[in-house]
């Protein structure tokens, strides 16, 4: 596991406002992960689980990960990038102000998360998150993710 950047408290985090706080290591998105996610969520659209059909009909020529699979990996990716330590017991996913999927994540691709510090109000931090696909010109995910430190 990667060693995250340690940030000591919300005051230190505030000093990084607008700056990059961390970068996760690369993770390979396998077809098994995509299939498991499809089974768990019931989203078995062919663009995710049928490599033969994708090779013939998809503009991507391969299966692609669900956008929500990419979102679900944010917890792990962010934990590997940044560790905010302080006088709180936990962090709570408070939701998203903005969430977009500009480009697909092809099966077999490697992704990583880049986190910048956005607005901080009291104990709620808006993280500006980009999930990059190795070698791609556009990110797979761009989000304003709210985390409450309690």
Q: Where are the domains of the chain?
A: 5-30+67-149
Taking Cα atoms as reference points, which of 48, 61, 7, 1 lies closest to residue 26? Answer: 1
- pLDDT for position 1: 62
Q: What is the pLDDT of residues 46-87, one digit of tens each?
A: 999 999 999 999 999 999 999 999 999 999 999 999 999 999
Res. 110: pLDDT tops 70: yes
C-alpha 130/C-alpha 133 separation (Å) is 10
- pLDDT for position 54: 98
Strands 5-8 and 82-85: parallel
* pLDDT band per the 50, 70, 90 thresholds, residue 92: very high
Whether the Cβ atoms of residue 140 and residue 101 lie closer than 8 Å to each other: yes
- pLDDT for position 2: 74
- pLDDT for position 135: 98
Q: Which residues pair with 148 in a beta bridge?
A: 92, 124
Whether the Cβ atoms of residue 102 and residue 138 lie closer than 8 Å to each other: yes
Domain at 5-30+67-149: CATH architecture? Roll (3.10)
Res. 123: pLDDT tops 80: yes
* Arithmetic mean of pLDDT, 113-136: 97
Q: Which residues pair with 112 in a beta bridge?
A: 132
HSE, side-chain direction, 13 A CA sphere, residue 119 = 7
Res. 144: pLDDT tops 90: yes
Average pLDDT score over the chain: 97
Q: What is the largest CA-CA distance in the chain?
A: 55
- pLDDT for position 100: 98
Q: Residue count of the chain, please give it.
A: 150
φ, ψ of residue 66 to 5 degrees: the values are -65, 145
φ, ψ of residue 76 to 5 degrees: the values are -65, -45
């Amino acid at each position: 596991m990667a060693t995250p950047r340690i940030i000591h408290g919300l005051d230190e985090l505030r000093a990084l406002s607008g700056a990059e706080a961390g970068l996760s290591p690369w993770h390979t998105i396998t077809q098994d992960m995509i299939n498991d996610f499809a089974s768990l969520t019931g989203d078995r659209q062919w663009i995710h689980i049928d490599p033969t059909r994708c090779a013939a009909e998809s503009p991507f020529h391969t299966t692609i990960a669900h956008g929500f699979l990419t979102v679900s990996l944010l917890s792990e990716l962010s934990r590997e990038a940044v560790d905010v330590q302080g006088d709180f017991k936990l962090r709570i996913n408070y939701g998203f102000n903005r969430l977009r999927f500009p480009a697909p994540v092809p099966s077999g691709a490697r992704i990583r998360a880049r986190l910048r510090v956005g607005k901080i109000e009291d104990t709620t931090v808006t993280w500006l998150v980009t999930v990059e696909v190795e070698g791609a010109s556009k990110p797979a995910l761009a989000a304003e993710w709210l985390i409450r430190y309690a």
